Amino acid sequence: MERVISLSLGEVVLKGKNRKHFENKLIGQVKKSIADIGFKSVYKDMGKVYIAADYENFDQIIERVKHVFGIVYISPCIKINRDIEEIEEGVKLITKEALEDNPSIKTFKGVAKRADKNYPLVSMEINNRIGGAVLKNFPIKVDVHNPDLYIYCDIKKEAYLYTKRYKAYGGLPMGTNGRGLLLLSGGIDSPVAGFLMAKRGVQIDSVHFHSYPFTSERAEEKMFKLAEILSAFTGNMTIYSINLLPIQKEINKNCPEDEMTIISRRFMMRIAERLSEKNEYKSIITGENLGQVASQTIDGLTVTSAIPNRPVFRPLIGMDKVNIIDWAKKIGTYETSILPFEDCCTVFLPKHPSLRPRLKDIEKSEEPLDIEELVESAIANMKIIKVKEGEVQNEEE
């Protein structure tokens, strides 16, 4: 008998001929996530991935691999020979442990799955043997509809027995859908947007816009903290920190006040597009949500989307704010996001922003601006920050 951890995969198993590529990506990310804890092996067995490691490290390993996208459920198992008598002995062991953890358990159900259809017993027969082993040795009853305890038995090259299933985030392994550049502010929305696109297999880096000294250094520190939290899911992250204030001053001096926000947003997109060209990001990601603020009307989004030559992903576009907050709390960014430090969007904020901008009017308003010089200057003066293993480790000009 050996203690292992099983990882149930979600969409990965539907990938047909590309499945091996997705599985190998996921296994690589699992190994990387637990490298400092240590493990004996990570291997595949007929549709699932297994981690062999020291039993005393299981809790820590489970918490780590919950953050690896592509995994749906995580279960601590015992791995044994497929002989039915050995399975019955294993069932007695895991039932005993489950009752010690929770003495209030009164009912159970056996759930056998045969990945290897050549096994001589069918699932119903295995379930009957599981039930018999439990009923003979423990004072609990069968309940096939709403049991207190599920006893799982997976028949593969070996037999795996378990009673616990921890929910993970599912999705696709990171990097299987290219690289994306996230517009990361200090608010609630953008970290959630980054998380959701990473969950779809996009490798995330970020660009952050600030207006120092009109905004405080504490606002940038808040963004770094959000990036640290997010990196538990996304892995190492590069952040391009851009001072937007010189551009905002030029817009304020030369453009209509009611278009200040939308033109600033177009410059953010120009800079994100330029960084994407230089660094081979295939998409730009924002936390925009339809109708939430003036620049996020259909007309506003149309005008800003006219800038980049690559997809702009807006995973929050149709969400209610309550849904977004729920996600922020779930991934651990909410408490940091609500800290009261202003970001660049509050600088030169118009009293009555344009709600229905038209592209030709905005382009006309931008004519007095030296767009190329402003964009190049902003990028030339940016800071590049590396977030590695959940902390800001270095910073370079």
**Binding-site entries:** 183-184, 208-209, 265, 287, 296
> What residues pair up with 181 in beta bridges, in sequence order?
205, 284
CA angle 23, 29, 32 (to 5 degrees): 140
* Contact between residue 93 and residue 2 where contact means Cβ atoms under 8 Å apart: no
Q: Are strands 41-45 and 48-52 parallel, antiparallel or unpaired?
A: antiparallel
Please enumerate in sequence order all residues whose Cβ is within 8 A of that of 370, keeping only pairs 6 or more positions apart, or say none: none
The identity of residue 247, as a single letter, is I
What is the residue type of 85? E
Phi, psi of 300 (to 5 degrees): -65, -45
Helices (H), 280-358: 298-305, 321-331, 334-337
The Cα angle at residue 284 between residues 182 and 218, in degrees rounded to 5: 25
Cα–Cα distance measured from residue 292 to residue 294, given in angstroms and rounded to the nearest whole number? 7
Contact (CB, 8 A) for 131 and 107:
no
Instruction: State which H helix or E strand residue 43 sits in.
Output: strand 41-45
> Residue 106 and residue 102: Cα distance in Å, rounded?
10
Look at residue 211 and give its three-state secondary structure.
coil
Q: Which residues are annotated as a binding site for ATP?
A: 183-184, 208-209, 265, 287, 296
- Residue 93 is classified by DSSP as H
157 exposure class (CB count in 10 Å sphere: 0-12, 13-18, 19+): exposed
What DSSP letter does each residue of 170-200 carry, written as one string? Answer: ESB-TTTT-EEEEE--SSSHHHHHHHHHHHB
CA pair distance 295, 3, nearest whole angstrom: 54
